[in-house]
Structure 1
Amino acid sequence: MQNILLLGAGRGGTAILRLLNNLGNFSFTAVIDENPLAPAMAVAKELGIPTDTHWETYISPDLDIIIDATGDSNLFTRLLEKRDRSTVVIPGEIASILVQLIEEKNRSFQLMDAQRQIQRIIFDSMDEGIISVDQDGKITFFNERAAKLTNVKKEKVLGKPIHEVIPHSRLLQVIETGRSESNQQLTLESGTKIVTSRFPLTTGDGQRIGAFAVFKDISEIQQMAEDLTNLREIQMMLEAIIQSSDDAISVVDENGVGLLINPAYTRITGLEEKDIIGKPAEADIMNGESIHRQVLETRKPVRGKQLQVGKDRKEVIVNVAPVIVNNRLKGSVGVIHDVTEMRTMMKELDRARLLIRSLESNLSFEDIIGQSDKIQFAKDQAKLAAGVPVTILLRGETGVGKDLFAHAIHRKSERKHNKFIRVNCSSQEATDQLFDGSKQEPFISQASGGTLFLDEIGELSIEHQRKLLKELSNDKFRLIASTSDQLEKSMRDGHFLEELYFQVNKMPIYIPPLRERIEDISLILDHALVRLNKEFGKQVDGFSSRALKALESYDWPGNVRELENVISRTLIFMNANERLVEERHLPLTTIRKSKPELPDGSLSDLVEEYERKLIQDTLASFKGNKTEAAKKLNISLRTLYYKIEKLGVEE
């Protein structure tokens, strides 16, 4: 052990003192500084090393090294003069360099240790077993997975010959031959079957210094192979299903880039894989927005969207859903239906239904077209009423389909196998035959066991109302009545019997006008086309968007009846080769492009003003002949006199 005298207790001296003391090969004779409060002085006292402010008394032949950390050049010269010839004097600058070199060496060792530790952690975290041996076949490395597979503790095998742990490892043969061995099967002493690869360890100049092996439990590999095979089979099956589907299918990834289409997609759109695969989701759309993009943004499915796709602008209906795996969006899949094919199938279905209706000579709730909430509510009420033996009053404007509801109720009731007798109460001739059998059997008698439908019951005379009351007490038939007027007002005015009102109003059903269910117009049009094409020998496929918009913008005061009349006139004047109803085909004198401004006044006042003007004009055209005017207006003569008096019509 060498004795050191340290002169200078500043920062440099402190670093030298700490470093050399930690090395353990040096003994400090003393630490000297003129300032007794210098940092190294305190450190020396903690380490039990003598301290002083003068150095001369410590110079002796036993002193091996003097380190001058003061930076005073004169002091260094004096030390050379006073020292013993065997004592080495080291200036502080050189000592500082030595300290830096030693510290750098220590840092390098620490870094190497840290790297080795990280390597151990990595190797111990691997799913494969790793064993290395030196050139004598002794184990130098053994990771955690190797220990688990061989069922031994790695602390007990390090330094042992490999053949004592794994008798048939062949690592010694690899060291001898220098050749690698890949994917070899081996059964360990623990009974575990593994597949292993062995490699020689060589230096840069080609000297073999050992070998190592990497191995894995073969049962895990077999399971992975089986899983991979199953995945491939599932993938092939899914691809076969997609390719054989009659529905057009397109798939995009999470970025909206095309991944897959099937033959049905090409058949419908005319687009091939080169037009779609690897292209943006909008590549196939000619009119409309990409539903794939919408689904990718919202992560929610979208159904029933109409688009135009492909070079021929094919009209399609699209259903698109997101593909989410482990809560991660992976893309979206779309199913495309050809609107033309769907329309054809719907028309064929409607034709079949129409044929069935004609064979049955009856109408049912299936003939009431519409899916709006209001018409559905009316249909539900009517279906409920059909099963109950109660008088029904159908209320609604002219043309809403009260006749159709009456037929449907009869067909669904227990009386469907008996007659359905309709009487137009606005016709004098029809009401005369209601109870009078001079010409043929009275309608009341014909309806026995079946249903009597009194259309516009408010037009019945008081005399006929009284007779009807008596007949209702016999329960020989079921009564369904309809009205487009306010029976309550007629009752208050004394034109409708109160007792009869309460008899017929037991089950009132309100049928909404067409203007309150505009969303049903497209369905009604499609249904009407089936019948009208057959009647007029046309082959019209549908309506353009502009034509449909024009129809939906009209108020339809005549309701469904007026709509069907307009479509009938439109089809009659269309050319035989025209397949689509355009806006120019519509009778613009009837169909207004925008809703009219509403006049001032209450509804009842406006209706009365309209009736007054209509009756005045009709009487004028027939030169005051009330009988002819009543026939023209399709009301009874009694009703005409009543309205002339009520409305103050000038004759």
Structure 2
Amino acid sequence: MQNIVLIGAGKGGSALLELLRDAGKFTFTAVIDKNPSAPGLRLAEQMNIPIANDWRSYISASVDVIIDASGDDTLLPELLDARDRSTVVIPGEIASILVQLIEDNKETYQQIDAARSIQRLIFDSMEEGIISIDQNGYITSFNESAARITQVDRKQVIGRPVHEIIPDSRLPQVASFGRSEINQQLTLESGTKIVTSRHPIITEAGERIGAFAVFQDISELQQMAEEITNLREVQMMLEAIIQSSDDAISVVDEKGIGLLINPAYTRITGLKEEDIIGRPAEADIADGESIHRQVLDTRKPVRGKQLQVGKDRKDVIVNVAPVIVNNRLKGSVGVIHDVTEIRSMMKELDRARLLIRSLESNLSFDDIVGVSEKIQFAKDQAKLAAGVPVTVFLRGETGVGKDLFAHAIHRKSERKHNKFIRVNCSSEEARDQLFTSSDKLSLAEQAINGTLFLDEIGELTLSQQQHLLDLLSYQKLPSRNELVDLRIIASTSEPLEKNMRDGLFLEELYFQINKMPIFIPPLRERTEDIPIILDHLLVKLNKEYGRQIAGFSDKAIQALKQYDWPGNVRELENVVSRTMIFMNASELKVEEKHLPLTTIRGKQPELPDGSLSDLVESYERQLIQQTLTAYKGNKAATAKKLNVSLRTLYYKIEKLGIEE
């Protein structure tokens, strides 16, 4: 240790004191300055170094070095005279140079340390593992990623042979031969698969001093690649399913911009990819609001929504659901069902059912059309009655379908293989044949083991009512002494209770037939069933008239719903039948203009005289004349409006004698 006396505790002396203290190879005998406030004196006190204001008492043979940092030019000769021969005196100028050199050196070391820290930070923050060895194969560096991938403690690997950490490592060979190895695969003892690149470390002089490797865990990458392959296969399968689906499918993103449609979508809507892809969700809507937008706004699915889409305003039913991934809305997917195709299939099914029932000469509950609560309740009661041998009493206005209910009950009962005899009690001839007949069995006898339907039972005479009462009470007929088995179904559109009070209907008979009353609702109380009834009637009437009417427009249906229908379903069938007769052969849809509005609005028109062909020609003449007037004699516009060729229009004008 060198003993030092520092004279001068100003800025320069303080710097020397700090630098020499940090060096750790020097001791200070004293720090001296005439100024008691000099900063070096306070620093010396903190370091437990003696301080003084006079240097003379501290100069002795034990002092190795005297440093003059006082800045006093006259002090150096005195120090040289007073020192021991073995003591070295360093003048102030040299001391200043030393201070500067030491400070520069310290700054350089600090910069180097900072650069090393940055390099170490980068080294340890790299995702790839990095390992280096010296020429003898001992590990010289090992970053955090290398420790993570190899699953070893980096503090325990420095200085160890690389083969103890990675047995199959080829770094020693790379260090020996100086040849790089790029993108080599290697499986570690832990089972982790890595891809590594190895390079020799060569000095500027060409000396090989080791090697290093940069490697990456590819286990996750391989798993991701497999998952991506699986996802691509699933995507290809989904695309194949979507492309082959008979239902139209459309997909939009979270902003409602079209992403995908399938061929069925183009077939149903008439719109192609360029009409939809990249365009807003409303691009295909002809009438109504975009259900895609509604789903994107609410994040909830919408099902069974009716819309009109495409250039031809095709009627469709839409089901749309949101696409949510990790609780994030990514878009929505819609499935469009062609209502025309559905209706066509339903009509084909109805045709098949109608044909089967016509072959069986019977009617069933399938012919009672409607989804309203009232008609469903009546059907449920009738089905219940069909299963038990009880007398059924059908009540309802004229035209509601009481006879249809009677047939359906018989068809579903155990008597379905026996006769169903309908007696129109309003007919005197039918009433007379009910219990007696001169040359054949009475109608009641014909119904034995089957069903006897007494339509408008209130029209029976009191004598006939008594015979019926005996039949219900004792199972006997006037013409036979033995017991008979038959079922009675009665109906009325009149208030029998009033007839009973007036003495026109037997009270006991009333209670006998009223054991299972079923009320059939009038059509005005179930107008929601009208569209379904219309579809059912079209199947029947198209077959009868050889037509191909596809359906009714919304306005036509609305007009029919607004009518009171005093004649109920029977009147509705008559109106539809009359409408179809007067429609042109080229017209495939019933519009409001086709309906006999004077009839359904309550005004009964006078029946015209003449044959059907004369009436049709009269109607054609009137229609063509009105259309020509509306288009100011423009025949091309008139032909387009009437959906006929211009040649046909000229022929009609000449044939019908229409004045232009």
TM-score by length of 2: 0.70
Corresponding residue number in structure 2 for 1:350: 350
Partner of 1:402: 402
Distance 1:119 1:172 in 2: 22
Correspondences of 1:464-475 after superposition (within 5 Å): 464-475=464-475
- In the alignment, is the contact (CA less than 8 A) between 2:132 and 2:212 conserved in 1? yes
Instruction: Note the C-alpha offset of 1:372.
Output: 2.2
Summarize the Cα distance change of 1:174–1:248 in structure 2 as closer, same or farther, 3 Å threshold: farther
Deviation at 1:440, TM superposition (A): 5.0
1:184-212 alpha-carbon deviations (Å, 9 max, x no partner)? 23344x37473422154989999999533
In the alignment, what sits opposite 2:197?
Answer: 198
Establish whether residue 507 from structure 1 lines up as the match of residue 506 from structure 2: no
2:371 paired residue number: 371
SS for the counterpart of 2:471 is: helix
Which residue of structure 2 lines up, in the alignment, with residue 572 of structure 1? 581
Q: CA deviation at 1:297?
A: 2.9
Quick one: which of 546, 555, 570 aligns to 1:546? Answer: 555
The answer as to whether partners of 2:32 and 2:55 remain within 8 angstroms in 1 is no
Deviations 1:367-402 (A, max 9, x none): 111122222222122112111111112222222211
Larger Rg: 2
Cα distance in 2 for partners of 1:430, 1:444 equals 11
Amino acid across the alignment from 1:557? P
Instruction: Output the amino acid matched with 2:512.
Output: Q
For residue 409 of structure 1, give the secondary structure of its aligned residue in structure 2: helix
Q: Helix, strand or coil: the match of 2:217? A: strand
Moved more, 497-506 or 582-591: 497-506
Equivalent residue for 2:263?
A: 263
Q: Which amino acid aligns with 1:233?
A: E
Partner of 2:482: none
Deviations 1:404-447 (A, max 9, x none): 11111110000111111222333344333322324753322222
Q: Select 1:518's aligned residue among 502, 524, 527.
A: 527
SS of residue paired to 2:599? coil
Measured after TM superposition, the shift of residue 296 of structure 1 is 2.8
Q: What is the SS of the residue equivalent to 1:449?
A: coil
Q: Evaluate the alpha carbon distance shift between residue 88 and residue 151 of structure 1 in structure 2; reply closer, same or farther with a 3 A threshold.
A: same
Give the superposition deviation at 1:356: 0.8
1:445 aligns with 2:445: yes
SS at match of 1:330: strand
Distance 2:578 2:55 in 1: 132
Give the structure 2 partner of residue 480 of structure 1: 489
Query: CA shift at 1:542, angstroms?
Result: 0.9
CA distance in 1, matches of 2:20, 2:469: 128
For residues 569 and 461 of structure 1, the distance between their equivalents in structure 2, rounded to whole angstroms, comes to: 37
Q: Which residue of 2 aligns with 1:170?
A: 170
Pairwise CA distance, 1:489: 4.5
Give the distance between the partners of 1:578 and 1:286, measured in 2 at CA: 22
State how far apart, in whole Å, the 2-side matches of 1:510 and 1:485 are. 12
Instruction: Give the whole-Å Cα distance in 2 for the aligned partners of 1:424 and 1:112.
Output: 114
Q: CA distance change for structure 1 residues 88 and 515 in 2, over 3 Å: closer, same or farther? A: farther
The residue correspondences of 1:67-466 to structure 2 (distance < 5 A) are 116=120, 120=124, 122=125, 129-133=129-133, 138-142=138-142, 146-147=146-147, 150=150, 152-166=152-166, 168-171=168-171, 181-188=181-188, 190=189, 192=191, 194-198=193-197, 200=199, 211-216=212-217, 223-438=223-438, 441-466=441-466
- Secondary structure (helix, strand or coil) at the match of 1:444 reads helix
Aligned 8 A contact 1:135 1:211 in 2: no
Tell me which amino acid in the other structure corresponds to 2:193: I
Give the secondary structure class of the aligned counterpart of 1:422. Answer: strand
- The alpha carbon displacement at 1:541 in A equals 1.0
Tell me, in whole angstroms, the C-alpha distance in 2 between the residues paired with 1:129 and 1:551: 81
Partner of 2:541: 532
Corresponding residue of 1:636? none
TM-score w.r.t. the length of structure 1 is: 0.71
Name the amino acid aligned to 1:401: G
Q: Distance in 2 between matches of 1:211 and 1:340?
A: 73
Give the C-alpha shift of residue 117 in structure 1.
5.9
- TM-aligned CA deviation for residue 256 of structure 1: 2.6
Q: How many residues align?
A: 568
Q: Distance in 1 between matches of 2:490 and 2:20?
A: 118
Which stretch of structure 1 is more off in the superposition, 510-519 or 523-532?
510-519
The answer on whether the counterparts of 2:36 and 2:53 sit within 8 Å (CA) in structure 1 is no
Check the 8 A contact 1:200/1:210 in 2, yes or no: yes
Equivalent residues of 2:31, 2:41 under 8 A apart: no
- Counterparts in 2 of 1:136 and 1:415: CA distance versus 1, 3 Å: same
- 558, 562, 565: which one aligns with 2:567: 558
Partner SS state of residue 490, structure 2: strand
- Over the residues paired in the alignment, what is the CA RMSD in angstroms? 5.0
Segments of structure 2 that go 5 or more residues without pairing to the other structure are 80-88, 94-98, 476-484, 604-660
Distance change (3 Å), C-alpha of 1:407 and 1:165: same
Q: Is the Cα–Cα contact under 8 Å of residues 7 and 66 in structure 1 kept in the other structure?
A: no
SS of the residue 1:214 aligns to: strand
Alpha-carbon contact 1:425-1:454 (below 8 Å) kept: yes
SS of 1:271's equivalent? coil
Alignment-mate amino acid for residue 519 of structure 2:
Y
Other structure's SS at 1:589 match: helix
Task: Tell me the residue number matched to 1:645.
Answer: none
Aligned position for 1:648: none
Report if aligned partners of 1:185, 1:193 keep a CA contact under 8 Å in 2.
no
Measured after TM superposition, the shift of residue 553 of structure 1 is 2.2
Distance 1:303 1:31 in 2: 98
Correspondence for 1:640: none
**Is the CA contact 2:5–2:31 (under 8 Å) kept in the aligned structure 1?**
no
Task: Kindly provide the amino acid, as one letter, of the partner of residue 395 in structure 1.
Answer: R
Q: What is the CA distance between 1:304 and its match in structure 2?
A: 2.6
Aligned in 2, Cα 1:149/1:86: closer, same or farther, shift over 3 Å? closer
- For the 8 Å contact 1:183–1:195, the answer to whether it is kept is no
